[in-house]
């Protein structure tokens, strides 16, 4: 569904240039959920933005659904994928109601039966009809992220790109959003790329996981490998150890609670 070969992204800032993504290649099959993990500055979000066409990139292959994903895209190509961003407090228009936010993509793409579609989208993400005319500031963080997901899915895209969708939320709310994503993935038969710094979240939702460090791909492993610790790169091992909690001595490999 998504093919990426030798993806490079360079940002120019004054006289300096930053090679944020360096020769990344991977494929995501239809219906698969692919995870990308890494620390801040590893370029994981930039990969997503490059696929979405939000940053200029060069590559030998960058395809979504068999079509080249260029910087300039036709309306039909833009319907293929949607993004959900990290911070639901920043990514929703503060002066628009939920109805306005959900309606906009439908109007842009000239879709019929807008009212019904908005109501259906609200129900699909577990919100109530009474939320339809609320403003984002009248909703909780979890509810806002539900609105962002509803907006992303309202055009029924085959591909959903998720950039840290739960890292601004409490554990209990994160559980609700992750369950929602798992259910929607099934009912909408979505192909997803999930970017996160949280290994447990990625292992929970994804089939295969790419580990990135400083713009480079370290390795691609399966979720089962991640759980069992059968990895080849030292960096991945270090990342897994660090996510399992605090250890008194750096080398000591004590058993800690999950």
CB of 95 to other proteins, least distance (A): 25
> How is the beta sheet containing 191-196 ordered, strand by strand?
81-84, 159-163, 191-196, 33-37, 208-213, 216-222
Pick one of 61, 107, 182, 233: the residue that binds other proteins (CB under 8 A).
Answer: 182
Check: CB of residue 152 under 8 Å from CB of residue 160: yes
Q: Which of residues 62-81 bind other proteins (CB under 8 A)?
A: none
Residue 153 contacts other proteins per CB under 8 A: no
CB of 8 to other proteins, least distance (A): 24
* Angle, alpha carbons 131-90-217 (nearest 5°): 120
Residue 171 contacts other proteins per CB under 8 A: yes
Say how many Å lie between the first and final Cα of the chain, rounded. Answer: 34
Residue 112 contacts other proteins per CB under 8 A: no
CB of 140 to other proteins, least distance (A): 10
Pick one of 54, 111, 119, 175: the residue that binds other proteins (CB under 8 A).
Answer: 175
Question: Which of 241, 147, 258 lies closest to 250 in space, CA to CA?
Answer: 241
Q: In whole angstroms, what is the distance from residue 90 CA to residue 83 CA? A: 14
Check: CB of residue 57 under 8 Å from CB of residue 8: yes
Pick one of 174, 184, 191, 212: the residue that binds other proteins (CB under 8 A).
Answer: 174
Q: Which of residues 184-203 bind other proteins (CB under 8 A)?
A: 197-201, 203
Residue 162 contacts other proteins per CB under 8 A: no
Check: CB of residue 139 under 8 Å from CB of residue 97: no
Point out which residues bind other proteins (CB under 8 A).
39-40, 170-172, 174-176, 178-179, 182, 197-201, 203-204, 226-227, 238-240, 242-248, 250, 256-258
């Amino acid at each position: 569904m998504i093919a990426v070969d030798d993806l490079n992204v360079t940002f120019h800032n004054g006289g300096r240039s930053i090679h944020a993504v360096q020769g990344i290649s991977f494929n995501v099959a239809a219906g698969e959920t692919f995870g990308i993990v890494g620390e801040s500055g590893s370029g994981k979000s930039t990969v997503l933005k490059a696929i979405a066409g939000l940053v200029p990139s060069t590559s030998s292959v960058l395809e979504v659904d068999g079509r080249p994903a260029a910087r300039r895209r036709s309306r039909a190509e833009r319907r293929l994928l949607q993004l959900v961003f990290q911070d639901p407090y920043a990514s929703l228009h503060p002066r628009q109601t939920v109805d306005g936010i959900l309606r906009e993509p439908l109007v842009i793409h000239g879709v019929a039966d807008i009212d019904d579609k908005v109501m259906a989208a609200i129900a699909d993400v577990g919100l109530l009809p009474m939320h339809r005319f609320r403003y984002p500031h009248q909703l909780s963080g979890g509810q806002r992220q539900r609105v962002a997901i509803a907006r992303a899915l309202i055009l029924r895209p085959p591909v959903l790109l998720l950039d840290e969708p739960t890292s601004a939320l409490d554990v209990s709310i994160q559980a609700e959003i992750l369950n929602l994503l798992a259910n929607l993935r099934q009912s909408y038969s979505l192909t997803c790329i999930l970017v996160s710094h949280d290994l447990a979240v990625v292992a929970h939702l994804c089939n295969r996981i790419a580990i990135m460090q400083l713009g480079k791909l370290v390795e691609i492993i399966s979720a089962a490998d991640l759980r069992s610790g059968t990895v080849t790169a030292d960096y991945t091992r270090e990342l897994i150890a660090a996510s399992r909690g605090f250890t008194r001595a750096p080398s000591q490999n004590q058993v800690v609670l999950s």
